[in-house]
Homo-oligomer: A and B are copies of this chain.
Amino acid sequence: MGNILHLSQPVRIFARASAVGYDEYRGPLGPYFDFHDERDRFGADTWEKAEGELGRTVLNLALNRAGIPHTALDLLLAGDLQNQCVASSGGLATFGLPYIGLYGACSTFVEGLVCAALALNGTVDLFRVGVVTTSHNCAAERQFRLPLEYGGQRPPTAQWTATAGGCALLERGDTGVCVTAVMPGKMVDGGIKDAANMGAAMAPAVADTILRYFGESGDSPEDYDAIVTGDLGREGSAILADLLAGRGMSLGGRHKDCGVLLYDPDYQDAHAGGSGCGCCASVTAAHFLPMLERGEARRILLMATGALMSPASIQQGGSIIGIAPLAVLEVKE
Protein backbone atom coordinates (compact mmCIF):
# COMPACT_ATOMS: atom_id res chain seq x y z
CA MET A 1 0.00 0.00 0.00
CA GLY A 2 1.65 3.20 -1.17
CA ASN A 3 1.82 6.15 1.16
CA ILE A 4 3.88 8.72 -0.72
CA LEU A 5 2.33 9.51 -4.11
CA HIS A 6 5.07 10.50 -6.52
CA LEU A 7 4.02 12.64 -9.47
CA SER A 8 4.94 11.31 -12.89
CA GLN A 9 4.42 14.79 -14.34
CA PRO A 10 5.79 17.67 -12.23
CA VAL A 11 3.29 20.25 -11.09
CA ARG A 12 4.20 23.85 -10.30
CA ILE A 13 2.58 26.58 -8.23
CA PHE A 14 2.57 29.49 -10.66
CA ALA A 15 0.74 32.04 -8.52
CA ARG A 16 -0.43 32.56 -4.94
CA ALA A 17 -2.22 35.18 -2.88
CA SER A 18 -3.28 35.86 0.69
CA ALA A 19 -5.69 38.17 2.50
CA VAL A 20 -6.28 38.66 6.22
CA GLY A 21 -8.22 40.60 8.85
CA TYR A 22 -6.93 43.24 11.24
CA ASP A 23 -5.47 40.99 13.96
CA GLU A 24 -3.49 39.01 11.41
CA TYR A 25 -2.31 42.24 9.76
CA ARG A 26 -1.03 43.48 13.13
CA GLY A 27 0.96 40.25 13.56
CA PRO A 28 4.60 39.54 12.66
CA LEU A 29 3.74 38.62 9.05
CA GLY A 30 1.42 41.61 8.52
CA PRO A 31 3.43 43.38 5.78
CA TYR A 32 3.62 40.25 3.65
CA PHE A 33 -0.08 39.59 3.09
CA ASP A 34 -1.42 40.86 -0.21
CA PHE A 35 -4.56 42.40 1.23
CA HIS A 36 -6.17 43.17 4.57
CA ASP A 37 -9.37 44.71 5.86
CA GLU A 38 -9.10 46.56 9.17
CA ARG A 39 -12.78 45.96 9.87
CA ASP A 40 -12.70 42.24 8.95
CA ARG A 41 -15.87 42.72 6.88
CA PHE A 42 -14.54 42.58 3.32
CA GLY A 43 -17.57 44.58 2.24
CA ALA A 44 -20.13 42.04 3.43
CA ASP A 45 -22.97 42.50 5.91
CA THR A 46 -22.46 39.25 7.86
CA TRP A 47 -19.30 37.49 9.08
CA GLU A 48 -20.30 34.38 7.15
CA LYS A 49 -20.56 36.29 3.87
CA ALA A 50 -17.33 38.14 4.73
CA GLU A 51 -15.53 34.80 4.63
CA GLY A 52 -16.95 34.16 1.17
CA GLU A 53 -15.59 37.55 0.09
CA LEU A 54 -12.18 36.60 1.51
CA GLY A 55 -12.14 33.59 -0.81
CA ARG A 56 -13.27 35.64 -3.79
CA THR A 57 -10.56 38.21 -2.99
CA VAL A 58 -7.63 35.78 -2.80
CA LEU A 59 -8.66 34.04 -6.03
CA ASN A 60 -8.87 37.39 -7.83
CA LEU A 61 -5.51 38.47 -6.39
CA ALA A 62 -3.80 35.25 -7.48
CA LEU A 63 -5.31 35.57 -10.97
CA ASN A 64 -4.07 39.17 -11.12
CA ARG A 65 -0.57 38.12 -10.06
CA ALA A 66 -0.55 35.47 -12.80
CA GLY A 67 -1.98 37.91 -15.32
CA ILE A 68 -4.69 35.51 -16.46
CA PRO A 69 -8.49 35.74 -16.48
CA HIS A 70 -10.51 33.37 -14.31
CA THR A 71 -11.62 31.57 -17.46
CA ALA A 72 -8.04 30.30 -17.80
CA LEU A 73 -8.67 28.00 -14.84
CA ASP A 74 -10.14 24.55 -15.52
CA LEU A 75 -11.04 23.60 -11.97
CA LEU A 76 -11.44 25.12 -8.52
CA LEU A 77 -10.83 23.14 -5.32
CA ALA A 78 -11.99 24.89 -2.17
CA GLY A 79 -13.12 24.44 1.40
CA ASP A 80 -13.72 26.18 4.70
CA LEU A 81 -14.99 25.54 8.23
CA GLN A 82 -18.54 26.83 7.92
CA ASN A 83 -21.35 24.31 8.08
CA GLN A 84 -21.81 22.80 4.62
CA CYS A 85 -18.77 24.83 3.44
CA VAL A 86 -20.99 27.73 2.39
CA ALA A 87 -18.16 30.29 2.49
CA SER A 88 -16.53 28.54 -0.47
CA SER A 89 -19.72 28.00 -2.46
CA GLY A 90 -21.10 31.46 -1.67
CA GLY A 91 -17.85 33.25 -2.45
CA LEU A 92 -16.77 31.36 -5.54
CA ALA A 93 -20.01 30.49 -7.37
CA THR A 94 -19.94 33.62 -9.51
CA PHE A 95 -16.70 32.56 -11.21
CA GLY A 96 -18.72 29.88 -13.02
CA LEU A 97 -15.85 27.38 -12.92
CA PRO A 98 -15.89 23.59 -12.51
CA TYR A 99 -15.78 23.09 -8.74
CA ILE A 100 -14.89 20.35 -6.28
CA GLY A 101 -15.65 21.08 -2.62
CA LEU A 102 -13.31 19.66 0.01
CA TYR A 103 -13.64 19.17 3.73
CA GLY A 104 -10.50 18.59 5.77
CA ALA A 105 -11.07 21.10 8.58
CA CYS A 106 -7.91 23.25 8.98
CA SER A 107 -6.00 20.81 6.74
CA THR A 108 -7.99 21.79 3.66
CA PHE A 109 -5.30 23.90 1.96
CA VAL A 110 -2.81 21.04 1.68
CA GLU A 111 -5.67 18.59 0.99
CA GLY A 112 -6.40 20.89 -1.97
CA LEU A 113 -2.75 20.86 -3.11
CA VAL A 114 -2.81 17.04 -2.91
CA CYS A 115 -5.98 16.80 -5.02
CA ALA A 116 -4.79 19.43 -7.51
CA ALA A 117 -1.45 17.65 -7.98
CA LEU A 118 -3.14 14.25 -8.45
CA ALA A 119 -5.66 15.66 -10.92
CA LEU A 120 -3.05 17.57 -12.98
CA ASN A 121 -0.66 14.64 -12.88
CA GLY A 122 -2.66 12.44 -15.17
CA THR A 123 -5.48 14.29 -16.83
CA VAL A 124 -4.64 15.60 -20.23
CA ASP A 125 -7.71 17.85 -20.44
CA LEU A 126 -6.89 19.73 -17.27
CA PHE A 127 -4.35 22.56 -17.43
CA ARG A 128 -4.73 24.97 -14.53
CA VAL A 129 -6.26 24.35 -11.12
CA GLY A 130 -6.95 26.83 -8.31
CA VAL A 131 -6.98 25.97 -4.60
CA VAL A 132 -8.75 28.38 -2.22
CA THR A 133 -9.32 28.02 1.52
CA THR A 134 -10.61 30.50 4.07
CA SER A 135 -11.61 30.97 7.69
CA HIS A 136 -13.13 33.88 9.61
CA ASN A 137 -12.76 34.23 13.35
CA CYS A 138 -16.21 35.69 13.93
CA ALA A 139 -18.01 33.11 11.77
CA ALA A 140 -16.13 30.23 13.42
CA GLU A 141 -16.44 31.58 16.96
CA ARG A 142 -20.22 31.79 16.90
CA GLN A 143 -20.67 28.56 14.97
CA PHE A 144 -18.35 26.36 17.05
CA ARG A 145 -18.20 28.10 20.40
CA LEU A 146 -20.12 31.02 21.85
CA PRO A 147 -21.92 34.18 20.70
CA LEU A 148 -19.35 36.88 20.02
CA GLU A 149 -21.08 39.29 22.41
CA TYR A 150 -20.65 36.85 25.30
CA GLY A 151 -16.88 37.35 25.43
CA GLY A 152 -16.29 33.83 26.78
CA GLN A 153 -13.04 32.98 28.58
CA ARG A 154 -10.65 30.69 26.75
CA PRO A 155 -8.12 28.32 28.27
CA PRO A 156 -4.41 28.75 27.37
CA THR A 157 -4.50 25.68 25.09
CA ALA A 158 -7.24 27.19 22.91
CA GLN A 159 -6.36 28.54 19.48
CA TRP A 160 -7.66 31.58 17.63
CA THR A 161 -9.38 30.94 14.32
CA ALA A 162 -7.61 33.19 11.82
CA THR A 163 -9.54 35.62 9.65
CA ALA A 164 -7.55 34.71 6.59
CA GLY A 165 -7.62 33.19 3.16
CA GLY A 166 -5.05 31.79 0.78
CA CYS A 167 -4.97 30.73 -2.83
CA ALA A 168 -2.51 28.75 -4.94
CA LEU A 169 -2.75 28.26 -8.71
CA LEU A 170 -1.17 25.10 -10.13
CA GLU A 171 -0.29 23.81 -13.59
CA ARG A 172 1.94 21.14 -15.10
CA GLY A 173 5.53 22.34 -15.27
CA ASP A 174 9.00 21.61 -13.92
CA THR A 175 10.45 25.04 -13.18
CA GLY A 176 9.92 27.32 -10.21
CA VAL A 177 8.15 26.18 -7.05
CA CYS A 178 7.02 22.62 -7.74
CA VAL A 179 4.95 20.05 -5.88
CA THR A 180 7.04 16.91 -6.32
CA ALA A 181 5.21 14.42 -4.09
CA VAL A 182 2.08 14.34 -1.97
CA MET A 183 0.70 12.15 0.77
CA PRO A 184 -2.93 12.19 1.94
CA GLY A 185 -3.30 12.12 5.71
CA LYS A 186 -4.63 9.22 7.74
CA MET A 187 -7.29 9.86 10.37
CA VAL A 188 -5.70 9.43 13.79
CA ASP A 189 -7.86 9.29 16.91
CA GLY A 190 -5.70 10.22 19.90
CA GLY A 191 -8.69 10.12 22.24
CA ILE A 192 -8.73 13.89 22.87
CA LYS A 193 -12.26 15.19 23.60
CA ASP A 194 -11.40 18.77 24.61
CA ALA A 195 -12.43 21.14 21.82
CA ALA A 196 -10.29 23.82 23.46
CA ASN A 197 -7.16 21.77 22.82
CA MET A 198 -7.04 21.06 19.10
CA GLY A 199 -3.25 21.01 19.12
CA ALA A 200 -3.27 17.88 21.29
CA ALA A 201 -5.82 16.26 18.98
CA MET A 202 -3.85 16.99 15.81
CA ALA A 203 -0.27 16.34 16.97
CA PRO A 204 -0.58 12.50 16.76
CA ALA A 205 -1.74 12.79 13.14
CA VAL A 206 1.26 14.95 12.27
CA ALA A 207 3.60 12.48 13.98
CA ASP A 208 1.97 9.68 11.95
CA THR A 209 2.46 11.58 8.67
CA ILE A 210 6.07 12.51 9.48
CA LEU A 211 7.05 8.99 10.52
CA ARG A 212 5.39 7.50 7.43
CA TYR A 213 7.02 10.05 5.16
CA PHE A 214 10.59 9.74 6.45
CA GLY A 215 10.22 5.98 6.91
CA GLU A 216 9.20 5.48 3.30
CA SER A 217 11.27 8.17 1.57
CA GLY A 218 14.51 7.41 3.41
CA ASP A 219 15.04 11.17 3.78
CA SER A 220 15.87 12.78 7.10
CA PRO A 221 14.70 16.14 8.47
CA GLU A 222 18.10 17.65 7.55
CA ASP A 223 17.18 17.22 3.87
CA TYR A 224 14.57 19.98 4.22
CA ASP A 225 15.01 23.69 4.85
CA ALA A 226 11.76 23.80 6.79
CA ILE A 227 9.20 21.29 8.04
CA VAL A 228 6.00 23.25 8.23
CA THR A 229 2.79 22.37 10.07
CA GLY A 230 -0.52 24.16 9.62
CA ASP A 231 -1.85 25.04 13.02
CA LEU A 232 -0.61 22.86 15.83
CA GLY A 233 -0.01 26.03 17.82
CA ARG A 234 2.42 26.10 20.73
CA GLU A 235 0.64 23.32 22.65
CA GLY A 236 0.45 20.94 19.70
CA SER A 237 3.99 21.73 18.58
CA ALA A 238 5.35 20.78 22.02
CA ILE A 239 3.35 17.53 21.98
CA LEU A 240 4.61 16.75 18.46
CA ALA A 241 8.23 17.22 19.62
CA ASP A 242 7.56 14.82 22.52
CA LEU A 243 5.88 12.22 20.29
CA LEU A 244 8.75 12.32 17.78
CA ALA A 245 11.37 12.24 20.55
CA GLY A 246 9.77 8.99 21.73
CA ARG A 247 10.52 7.59 18.27
CA GLY A 248 14.06 8.96 18.28
CA MET A 249 13.41 11.85 15.90
CA SER A 250 13.96 15.57 16.33
CA LEU A 251 12.95 18.25 13.84
CA GLY A 252 14.87 20.86 15.81
CA GLY A 253 14.68 24.42 14.55
CA ARG A 254 13.42 23.19 11.18
CA HIS A 255 9.88 22.86 12.52
CA LYS A 256 7.77 25.94 11.82
CA ASP A 257 4.06 26.15 12.61
CA CYS A 258 1.86 28.59 10.70
CA GLY A 259 -0.39 29.05 13.76
CA VAL A 260 2.62 30.03 15.89
CA LEU A 261 3.98 32.42 13.23
CA LEU A 262 0.72 34.26 12.61
CA TYR A 263 0.35 36.18 15.90
CA ASP A 264 2.83 37.72 18.34
CA PRO A 265 2.59 35.99 21.73
CA ASP A 266 3.70 39.12 23.59
CA TYR A 267 1.15 41.64 22.39
CA GLN A 268 -1.57 39.55 20.77
CA ASP A 269 -3.96 37.47 22.83
CA ALA A 270 -4.15 34.43 20.53
CA HIS A 271 -3.38 31.93 23.31
CA ALA A 272 -1.80 28.77 21.81
CA GLY A 273 -1.71 30.26 18.29
CA GLY A 274 -3.77 30.61 15.14
CA SER A 275 -5.94 27.98 13.46
CA GLY A 276 -8.54 27.70 10.71
CA CYS A 277 -8.49 26.79 7.02
CA GLY A 278 -7.04 30.21 6.22
CA CYS A 279 -4.13 29.97 8.68
CA CYS A 280 -1.93 27.49 6.80
CA ALA A 281 -3.14 28.90 3.45
CA SER A 282 -2.32 32.54 4.15
CA VAL A 283 1.02 31.87 5.90
CA THR A 284 2.10 29.50 3.12
CA ALA A 285 1.09 32.00 0.44
CA ALA A 286 2.60 35.04 2.19
CA HIS A 287 5.70 33.53 3.78
CA PHE A 288 6.81 30.05 2.68
CA LEU A 289 6.05 30.23 -1.07
CA PRO A 290 7.87 33.60 -1.34
CA MET A 291 10.86 32.08 0.55
CA LEU A 292 11.01 29.38 -2.12
CA GLU A 293 10.52 31.91 -4.94
CA ARG A 294 13.43 34.01 -3.64
CA GLY A 295 15.68 30.98 -3.21
CA GLU A 296 15.89 31.38 0.59
CA ALA A 297 14.64 27.79 0.84
CA ARG A 298 14.95 25.01 -1.71
CA ARG A 299 12.87 22.24 -0.22
CA ILE A 300 9.99 22.45 2.25
CA LEU A 301 7.82 19.72 3.73
CA LEU A 302 4.35 21.24 4.15
CA MET A 303 1.71 19.57 6.32
CA ALA A 304 -1.62 21.16 7.12
CA THR A 305 -3.38 19.90 10.22
CA GLY A 306 -7.09 19.26 10.63
CA ALA A 307 -9.28 18.45 13.64
CA LEU A 308 -12.29 16.48 12.39
CA MET A 309 -15.14 17.23 14.80
CA SER A 310 -18.37 19.18 15.11
CA PRO A 311 -20.13 20.70 18.13
CA ALA A 312 -22.61 17.78 17.90
CA SER A 313 -19.87 15.14 17.82
CA ILE A 314 -18.26 16.71 20.91
CA GLN A 315 -21.61 16.91 22.72
CA GLN A 316 -22.18 13.23 21.97
CA GLY A 317 -18.86 12.28 23.56
CA GLY A 318 -16.93 11.71 20.36
CA SER A 319 -13.21 12.27 20.25
CA ILE A 320 -11.50 14.71 17.91
CA ILE A 321 -9.86 12.95 14.98
CA GLY A 322 -6.68 14.50 13.59
CA ILE A 323 -5.44 14.44 10.00
CA ALA A 324 -2.32 15.86 8.35
CA PRO A 325 -1.94 15.71 4.55
CA LEU A 326 1.51 16.49 3.16
CA ALA A 327 2.99 18.15 0.07
CA VAL A 328 6.70 18.35 -0.81
CA LEU A 329 7.55 21.78 -2.23
CA GLU A 330 10.82 22.09 -4.14
CA VAL A 331 12.46 24.77 -6.27
CA LYS A 332 13.31 23.42 -9.74
CA GLU A 333 15.33 25.17 -12.44
Contacts and interface: CB of A to CB of B under 8 A. Distances in A.
A122 B122 contact: yes
B49 A316 contact: yes
Given A98-B184, A122-B121, A323-B99, A312 B83 contact: yes
Interface in A301-332: 308-313, 316, 318, 321, 323, 325
B89 A308 contact: yes
A186 B97 contact: yes
Interface of A: 1-9, 46, 48-49, 71-75, 79, 81-86, 89-90, 92-94, 96-105, 111, 114-115, 118-119, 121-127, 143, 183-189, 308-313, 316, 318, 321, 323, 325
Nearest to A92: B187
Contacts of A323: 89, 99
A88 to B, nearest CB: 8
Contacts of A48: 312-313, 316
A143 B83 CA distance: 10
Dominant secondary structure at the A interface: mixed
A225 to B, nearest CB: 25
A79 B100 CA distance: 12
Residue among A7, A8, A125, A189 facing the most chain B CB atoms (10 A cut-off): A125
Contact of A115 (B99, B115, B312): B115
Contacts of A311: 83
Contacts of A186: 96-99
A89 B307 CA distance: 10
A107 to B, nearest CB: 9
Contacts of A49: 316, 318
A89 B101 CA distance: 16
Contacts of A96: 186-187
Contact of A187 (B4, B93, B316, B318): B93
A217 to B, nearest CB: 12
Contacts of A185: 98-99
Contacts of A3: 98
B321 A89 contact: yes
Contact of A119 (B99, B119, B316): B119
B4 A86 contact: no
A85 B99 contact: no
B101 A310 contact: no
Nearest to A139: B312
